[in-house]
Structure 1
C-alpha cells in the first residue's frame, strides 16, 4: 500500500508540471523562457543538495554522452514551456507522453534491438491515435505550432530517457545534467520578452524544486521496487491526471475527441509495455542448472 501511494504521488508530481506550466502561462504570470529557466535552476539546486547529502560520487561532466543528454534536456524543457502557450494541459501531456514512447520505440529500432510483434502493434496503434487526434477538423483544431513544440519536447525527453539507460546513479546524473543545462537555458531569453510576476516565479520554483527535482528523486528511489511493466503502465496515468488538473484549475474542456484519442494512444502504449518475452525450455533448463 505504501509503494502504491508513493507511485501515485510521483505520477501526480509529473502531471503537476503540465498543470503548473499552463497555469503560469495562461494567467500571464510569466513568459515561457523564464519559466523553463527558473525550473532548471531550481531543479538543479534541489538535486545538487540531494547529491551532496548522499555524498555520492561526482559524475564525469565533459563526456560526449553528457552533452547529448544536456541538449536533449534543454529541448524538452524549452519545447515543453513554449508549447503550453497555446495547448490545453491534457492535450500537451498526451502529445508529450505519446511522442516520448514513439521516440523510445524508434531508438530501439536504431539500436537494432529485437522488437516483438505485439510491440509493433502497440506502437502503430499509439502513433495512429496521436495522428488522428492532431489532424485538423472543422470542429476541433490543435494549434500546429504548439503541437510541433511539444513534439520537440517529446523527442528531447525520449532521447534523454534513452541516454539515461544503465546509469549507475540516476539522481547524480540528473543533477549534473540540470546543473549544466541551466546556464545554457538563459539563451532562450533572446526568443521572448521577459515577463515575470512573483506568483509566476513561485509556480516555476514549485515545478522545478518539488515536481521535477524531488519528483525525479522519489521516482528513482521507488523504481527498483517496481516491475518494469508496472512502472511503464503507471505512467499511463499522467496525461489523464494532467487533463483533470486542467479541468479543475483552468476550466479547460474535456472533449469526447480527447477522451477517445487518449484511450487509443494509451491503449497502444499499454500493449507495448505489458509484453513479457516467453522463456524457452532451453533457457529454463539453463537457469535451473545454474542455480
Structure 2
C-alpha cells in the first residue's frame, strides 16, 4: 500500500509491538474520537435546538482552526492546490450530508451506512485499478447491508440512509484524493480551510432557518476540534506504528463503538436482526480487507486504513 514520506520514516524507526501499550491506548482513543463524531451529531439533534447548517459550519470551522494551529506549531503550511479544492468540496459534502442524515437515523445505523458506502467505493476503485479480493466476502458485506436496510420497524428511514450513503461516498472520494499525500496534517488542514466558504454559503442559504443554542454549539465544537482534528492527529501518530492490516482491521470497531455509545448514552435500541446484519457487513468488509491483493503492474490503491490516515 502507499504510505506518506513521513510515515515511511516512522515505519523504519518503529516496529509493530514497540511501545505497544501506548500505541494500543492512543489507537483506542482515536477510534473513540471517530465514533464520537456520530454520537455528538446525533445527540445535538436529540437534545438541543441547533440546525444542521449551523452544526456543519461550527464543526468545519473549528476543525480548520484547530488543525491550522497544530500545523503552525509544527512549522508547516496549509496547502492550497487544485486537489485540495476538490477535497474541500468532498469534505463539505461529507460533513453536510452526515449532519443532515443524523437528524433521522440512529448513531450506530448511521455509522454503519457511512462506513459501508465509503468502503464499497474504495473497493470498487481498487478493482478498477487492478486489485483483487474475495468476491464472496464482498457478497457477504452487500447481503448484510441489504438485510439491514430492508424496510422494517427498526430500519432507518430511506431519506436518512440516502444522505448517509452520499456522505460515505464523499468520504471515500476524499480518501482517494488524499492517497498520495506526503503531509496528511497539512493537506487535511488545507481541505478544511477550502470547505469553510462552502459552509458559509450553506448558512447564507439557510439564514431564515438558523437556530443555535449553547449546548448545540458545544457539541459541534467538540465534534470539529476534538473528535475530528485531534482525533486525526492521534491517528496519524499511531498509524505508522502498526501494520497495515492492523490499521485496517481496528477501524472496523468504529461502527460498533458508535452503536454502543448510542445505546449507552442516548438510549437507542438495536434489534437482533439489525445486529446480526451489521455483523455480516463488518465481517464481509474484514474478509475483503484481509484478502485484497494489488494487480500486476498496477499501483496499489487506498485501503481501509488510509480512509482515516489521509484525510477526515
Q: Normalization by structure 2: what TM-score? A: 0.84
Distance, in Å, in 2 between the alignment partners of 1:194 and 1:271 is 44
- What is aligned with 2:68? 48
Q: Does 1:129 align with 2:144?
A: yes
2:141 touches 2:284 (CA, 8 Å); kept in 1?
yes
Give the whole-Å Cα distance in 1 for the aligned partners of 2:116 and 2:78. Answer: 33
Cα distance in 1, alignment partners of residues 64 and 277 from structure 2: 35
The residue number in structure 1 matching 2:238 is 222
CA distance in 2, matches of 1:277, 1:33: 41
Structure 1 residues 89 and 186: CA distance shift in structure 2, 3 A: same
Counterparts of 1:276-287 in structure 2, within 5 Å, are none
Shift of 1:27: 1.7
Partner residue in 2 for 1:179: 193
Give distance in 1, aligned partners of 2:139 and 2:188. Answer: 31
Contact 2:102–2:160 (CA<8 Å) still a contact in 1? yes
Distance 1:199 1:82 in 2: 18
Q: 1:5 Cα deviation (Å)?
A: 0.8
User: 2:191 and 2:289 mapped to 1: Cα distance?
Assistant: 27
Q: TM-score, normalised by structure 1?
A: 0.89
Cα-to-partner distance string for 1:242-287 (whole Å, 9 max, x where unaligned): 1111111111012112211111000001101122659xxxxxxxxx
Alignment of 1:146-225 (within 5 A): 146-189=160-203, 190-191=205-206, 193-225=209-241
Higher gyration radius (CA): 1
Equivalent residue pairs, number: 272
Are the equivalent residues in 2 in contact too, given 1:40–1:182 (CA < 8 A)? Answer: yes
Q: State the Cα deviation string for residues 175-225 of structure 1 (Å, max 9, x = none).
A: 000011012112223247111100111110001000000001111111111
Distance of 1:25 and 1:277 partners within structure 2: 42
Q: Matched residues in 1 for 2:292 and 2:165: separation?
A: 29
Q: 1:32 aligns to what?
A: 52
Name the residue aligned to 2:81. Answer: 62
Gaps of 5+ in 2: 1-20, 295-312
The CA deviation at 1:29 is 3.0
* Of 168-177 and 120-129, the range deviating more from structure 2: 120-129
Aligned to 2:13: none
Q: CA RMSD in A?
A: 1.5
Using the TM superposition, give the Cα deviation of residue 122 of structure 1 relative to its aligned residue in structure 2, in angstroms: 2.1
* Alignment match of 1:113 (pick from 122, 130, 133): 130
Instruction: Say whether 1:253 aligns with 2:269.
Output: yes
Q: Secondary structure at the match of 2:209?
A: coil
SS of structure 1 residue aligned to 2:274: helix
| Native 8 Å contact 1:20 1:204 kept in 2 | yes
Contact 1:82 1:146 in 2 (8 A): yes
Deviation at 1:93, TM superposition (A): 0.6
2:292 and 2:120 map into 1 onto residues whose CA distance is: 19
1:234 and 2:250 correspond: yes
1:141 equivalent to 2:155? Answer: yes
Write the distance in 2 (CA, Å) between the matches of 1:104 and 1:224. 21
Is 1:3 aligned to 2:20, yes or no?
A: no
SS of equivalent to 2:291 = coil
1:24, distance to aligned residue in structure 2 (A): 0.4
Could you give the per-residue CA deviations for residues 59-113 of structure 1, whole angstroms, max 9, x where no partner exists?
A: 2x132x2222111111110010000000010110111111111011122233x22
The unaligned stretches of length 5 or more in structure 1 are 279-291
| 2:97 aligned with 1:79 | yes
